[in-house]
Structure 1
Amino acid sequence: MTNTQRVNIGKLHPAPYKTLIAMSTEVEELAAAAGLDPLLVELLKIRTSQLNGCAFCLRMHTRDALKEGENPDRIAVLPAWAETGYFSATERAALRLTEAITCVPDGHVSDDDYDAAAAALSADQVSAVAWLATVMNAFNRVAITSRYRVDG
């Protein structure tokens, strides 16, 4: 890591950041309307941030999930969700699709990943998960680029 002072792009240009926040609010509303559990929404944000290595968002959304009553064990095993019995079929489908969307540099969202999501989620839920992943990836990139500090 260098000593270069990073520009906080959200503060320097607040209008796009406020638009991103408004978009996030709208996406959370559509996720709720689609019947996605608010705890699952937080888990999707945490998983996206884990994959992107965004410490700032990880801390924030882990705290939010715990405050909402999420089981700490589920958060602890989230990186290995597919190997556990902690997650329902709906949660597993949403996590799989979120990972596929987040990891597009590894290849496009495969038909297998999409079909698995579509088999367990309604069309509204698939769309909500895709939008949640898209918005969370954008927030991660803002925080990582600006190097939002996470001190102990």
Structure 2
Amino acid sequence: MTITDAATTPATATAPAVDAAPDAYVVPVRRLDFDGVAPAFARAVSALDDAAEAEADRAGLGAGIRELVRLRASQLNGCSYCVDLHSRDARAAGEPEQRVHAIAVWPESNFFTARERAALGLVDSVTRLSETHVPDAVWAEAAEHWSPDELAAILSLIVSVNAWNELAVSTRGWRPRLRT
């Protein structure tokens, strides 16, 4: 099997042929080299992410919950690069493989505490902001389990990962590499 790294695919490349080798992975065409075209903005989003990390550090959020928050938002946004990245980072932070897989169906899973479920509910609601407008009940549930500092840190992580997801999905600018 073969795979093409989208980072080397020019933004003007054509879509993969439908009759390509049946065992070849299909790599969506990179639409825009965002880092190359808008480097100042890319650095600003990186700075936003660094600020979210600093808030998480200040609030004492563990690495596991940070990555589960990022992973869940990335799943909802359909960002393959970020799903790959945050799945690996969650595992590196000590999250069991079952929890990493179950985050996609967290409401139906028994692998998450009430506190984690409140954070994940907030992730879902904030990420789907235009649909949910973050109902009072979702916020109240999160506030019952997390301090104001922790809520601010979680919200910061959600906002920063959503920004990355929006850039990655719309430009197809970053692609994970298959590890065998």
Identify whether the pair has TM-score above 0.5, normalized to the shorter chain: yes
Looking at structure 1, the residues matched to 167 and 143 of structure 2 have their Cα atoms a distance apart, in angstroms, of 30
What stretches of structure 2 of length at least 5 have no aligned partner?
1-13, 16-28
**Cα distance change on mapping 1:123 and 1:11 into 2, 3 Å:** same
| Matched residues, number | 151
C-alpha contact 1:10 1:142 (8 A) present in aligned 2? no
Q: 1:28 aligns with which of 53, 61, 83?
A: 53
Cα displacement (A) at 1:92? 1.2
C-alpha contact 2:55 2:156 (8 A) present in aligned 1? no
In the alignment, which residue of structure 2 is the partner of 1:38?
63
**Greater percentage in helix:** 1
Looking at structure 2, the residues matched to 90 and 34 of structure 1 have their Cα atoms a distance apart, in angstroms, of 15
In the alignment, which residue of structure 2 is the partner of 1:132?
157
C-alpha contact 2:85 2:176 (8 A) present in aligned 1? no
Which amino acid in 1 is paired with 2:175? R
Cα displacement (A) at 1:84? 2.2
Q: What SS class does the counterpart of residue 77 from structure 1 fall into?
A: helix
Which amino acid in 2 is paired with 1:30? E
What stretches of structure 1 of length at least 5 have no aligned partner?
none
Output the aligned Cα RMSD: 1.5
In the alignment, which residue of structure 1 is the partner of 2:113?
88
**Cα distance change on mapping 1:5 and 1:40 into 2, 3 Å:** closer
In the alignment, which residue of structure 1 is the partner of 2:95?
70
C-alpha contact 2:70 2:157 (8 A) present in aligned 1? yes
Cα displacement (A) at 1:104? 1.1
Looking at structure 2, the residues matched to 11 and 98 of structure 1 have their Cα atoms a distance apart, in angstroms, of 30
In the alignment, which residue of structure 1 is the partner of 2:20?
none
Looking at structure 2, the residues matched to 55 and 5 of structure 1 have their Cα atoms a distance apart, in angstroms, of 13
Greater gyration radius: 2
Q: 2:169 aligns with which of 131, 144, 148?
A: 144
C-alpha contact 1:32 1:38 (8 A) present in aligned 2? no
Query: Which stretch of structure 1 is more off in the superposition, 10-19 or 130-139?
Result: 10-19
1:11-43 CA distances to partner (integer Å, 9 max, x unpaired)? Answer: 211111111111111211211221211110001
Looking at structure 1, the residues matched to 113 and 99 of structure 2 have their Cα atoms a distance apart, in angstroms, of 11
Query: Which stretch of structure 1 is more off in the superposition, 77-86 or 51-60?
Result: 77-86
In the alignment, which residue of structure 2 is the partner of 1:60?
85
Cα displacement (A) at 1:126? 1.1
In the alignment, which residue of structure 2 is the partner of 1:107?
132
Looking at structure 2, the residues matched to 109 and 150 of structure 1 have their Cα atoms a distance apart, in angstroms, of 31
Which amino acid in 1 is paired with 2:65? L
